[in-house]
A and B are shown apart, each in its own frame.
Chain A
Amino acid sequence: MSPIIKKTGGEKFTLPGKYLLFILSLVAVALIMITSATDIMNSRAFTSLESALYPFQRGLANAGAWLIRRKIEIGNIRSLQAENEELKRQIDALTTENIYLQQDEYELTNLRRLYELDAQYQNFEKTGARIIAKDGSNWYQSFIIDKGTDDGIAVDMNVIAGSGLVGRVNAVGSNWARVQSIISDNAAVSGTLLSSSDNLIVTGSLELYKNGRIAWSKLVDPTDRVAIGDKIVTSNISDKFLPGILIGYVSDIKPDANNLTKSGELIPAASFEHLDEVLVILTMKQELSEESTGIEDEEEAP
């Protein structure tokens, strides 16, 4: 910061660097305060700015995918690949359906009343989307998909891949949407243990995810009903996630120091390593709860 270094190297601006730093720091701090206190980041002006990047990201993502595909599948005929992708998409859809059917069966034997509500989940309208860019830092996991408001996507819609939950849309533009994945260290989902219907919190963890796992905690289970391999699904008390979407399988159980709750690890059902295509559920929790309360009112009336 010595005043000796004021050489400008013949640049056009002659403002010394430290003043520039000071001014731009103030600008950045002001930006932090404005954008974290208001909802301006989701306004049209901001989201359309990012839309400008979309064609480049899409093109380069395709280029990257192309490179990798060439590397792995040298000699493969293109039509076979297309067919394969189509079939994979079908498998994904069928696996999801299958999971829901299994759940339905479970609910049917245990909670007949809930079954009727749950049966509609497989009928959720979904749309497939491609991942075109990922968070550039190595700390958090969020990614950009190639569909946006034009395809009916809105903030807080749930994203699944294969048979498991991937994350939630947290920003959307006309032709892109940003998805925060559940494995991201700053993400948390309210879940339910399918075997006992007890609620717990699933939190992403960079540390655990390096071993392919994420963490769950705050499970109240005094009678030791939780077992390794149990399914964890999204809970019905979450206001962002639809109930009954498979998150993963319990892989480790530890009692907490307070002796009241338990925590542990789970293996996510969706494979995050080579995530390429995802499904966005176009039904939102808010709509669903409005609908279902409507139905209940009708039922209770007579």
Chain B
Amino acid sequence: MRRIIAYILIVFLSFLLQTTVFQTIGSYLSDLVPNLLFLLVASFGILRGEKTGLLLGFFSGLMTDLVFGSYLGFYTLLFMFFGFMIGILFYQSVEPDHFLPVFAIIACGDLLFGFVEYVLLFLLRTRFHFRFYLLHVMIPEMIYTVAVAVLLYPFYLFLDEVLQTDESRRAKKFV
């Protein structure tokens, strides 16, 4: 229960920060923002597995679609699949407290996420200049996301540990 409340709070906060404070800061960084929601979904995919990843992805995406989409479901699907795939591939196969591989996963994941966005939102509308979008949107976004991950991922890790010790303590109490 506490975990669910924590998740709701983080999704909420990530979304709000991404659309407000980071936008203001981003207007000084060639108008780009780090993808906090992706960072959140990927982090908990690695920490807690595919189911947590996909549920967090579902709700993060739904929130994005609700506020900024002209129809619901696009980002819902995208975030959900990324959360699921990262969970399936990397949960329990990478050490969550070995930061370098985790950041590599987040970097590659965000780049792939940007690529899928490009294909679905731009390539399908005959915007063929891939190199430009790669150099001016996808890679800078990846760098920002990883830079923020350096600060936020340890916090997520810490939060997960706190919740886990809390849960195991409560479980013991009941036994």
Q: Which residues of A contact B (CB under 8 A)?
A: 1, 5, 7-11, 13, 17-18, 20-21, 24-25, 28-32, 34-36, 41, 46, 49-50, 53, 56-57, 60-61, 63-65, 67-68, 132-140, 142, 144, 170-171, 178, 185-186, 206-207, 210, 273-274
Task: Tell me, rounded to whole Å, the shortest Cβ–Cβ distance linking B122 to chain A.
Answer: 7
Contacts of B156 in A (CB 8 A): none
Contacts of A18 in B (CB 8 A): 50, 84
User: Other than the known A5-B50, A32-B72, A207-B136, what 15 A-B pairs have Cβ atoms closer than 8 Å?
Assistant: A21-B80, A28-B61, A28-B80, A49-B66, A50-B66, A57-B19, A57-B20, A60-B16, A61-B20, A63-B20, A63-B21, A64-B20, A134-B33, A136-B33, A144-B67
Closest B residue to A186 by CB, please name it.
B125
Knowing A57-B19, A207-B132, say if A31 contacts B31 (CB, 8 Å). Answer: no
Contacts of A137 in B (CB 8 A): 35, 64, 68, 75, 117
Docked complex Cα distance between A185 and B117 (Å): 13
Docked complex Cα distance between A134 and B67 (Å): 10
Do B48 and A9 touch (CB < 8 A)?
A: yes
24 A-B pairs with C-beta separation under 8 A: A7-B49, A20-B55, A21-B50, A24-B58, A24-B80, A29-B77, A30-B73, A41-B70, A49-B66, A53-B16, A56-B16, A64-B22, A67-B21, A67-B24, A133-B67, A136-B19, A137-B35, A170-B70, A185-B122, A185-B127, A186-B125, A207-B129, A207-B136, A210-B136
Contacts of B50 in A (CB 8 A): 5, 17-18, 21
Contacts of B33 in A (CB 8 A): 134, 136, 138
Do A17 and B49 touch (CB < 8 A)?
A: yes
Do B77 and A25 touch (CB < 8 A)?
A: yes
Closest A residue to B36 by CB, please name it.
A136
Contacts of A28 in B (CB 8 A): 58, 61, 72-73, 76-77, 80
Among A29, A50, A136, A137, the one with the most B-chain Cβ atoms within 10 Å of its Cβ is: A136
Q: Which of A17, A67, A142 contacts B87 (CB 8 A)?
A: A17
Task: Tell me, rounded to whole Å, the shortest Cβ–Cβ distance linking B34 to chain A.
Answer: 9
Do A133 and B19 touch (CB < 8 A)?
A: yes
Task: Tell me, rounded to whole Å, the shortest Cβ–Cβ distance linking A52 to chain B.
Answer: 10
Do B133 and A207 touch (CB < 8 A)?
A: yes
Task: Tell me, rounded to whole Å, the shortest Cβ–Cβ distance linking B116 to chain A.
Answer: 11
Docked complex Cα distance between A273 and B50 (Å): 39
B165 CB-CB contact with A under 8 Å: no
Closest B residue to A25 by CB, please name it.
B77
Knowing A9-B48, A41-B70, A142-B68, say if A21 contacts B21 (CB, 8 Å). Answer: no
Q: Which of B23, B49, B80 contacts A64 (CB 8 A)?
A: B23
Docked complex Cα distance between A273 and B70 (Å): 24
Do A274 and B127 touch (CB < 8 A)?
A: no
Do B20 and A133 touch (CB < 8 A)?
A: yes
Do A60 and B20 touch (CB < 8 A)?
A: yes
Docked complex Cα distance between A56 and B35 (Å): 19
Docked complex Cα distance between A68 and B33 (Å): 15
Knowing A29-B73, A273-B27, say if A178 contacts B133 (CB, 8 Å). Answer: no
1/0 per residue, CB under 8 A from A, across B1-45: the answer is: 000000000001001111111111101101111010100000000
Task: Tell me, rounded to whole Å, the shortest Cβ–Cβ distance linking A6 to chain B.
Answer: 10
Contacts of A144 in B (CB 8 A): 19, 67
4 closest Cβ pairs, A-B complex: A32-B73, A64-B24, A64-B21, A60-B20
Contacts of A60 in B (CB 8 A): 16-17, 20-21
Do A139 and B18 touch (CB < 8 A)?
A: no
Contacts of A30 in B (CB 8 A): 73
Do B121 and A21 touch (CB < 8 A)?
A: no
B152 CB-CB contact with A under 8 Å: no
Task: Tell me, rounded to whole Å, the shortest Cβ–Cβ distance linking B32 to chain A.
Answer: 5
Knowing A68-B25, A134-B19, A137-B117, say if A13 contacts B51 (CB, 8 Å). Answer: yes
Docked complex Cα distance between A145 and B79 (Å): 26
Contacts of A136 in B (CB 8 A): 15, 18-19, 33, 35, 37, 64, 68
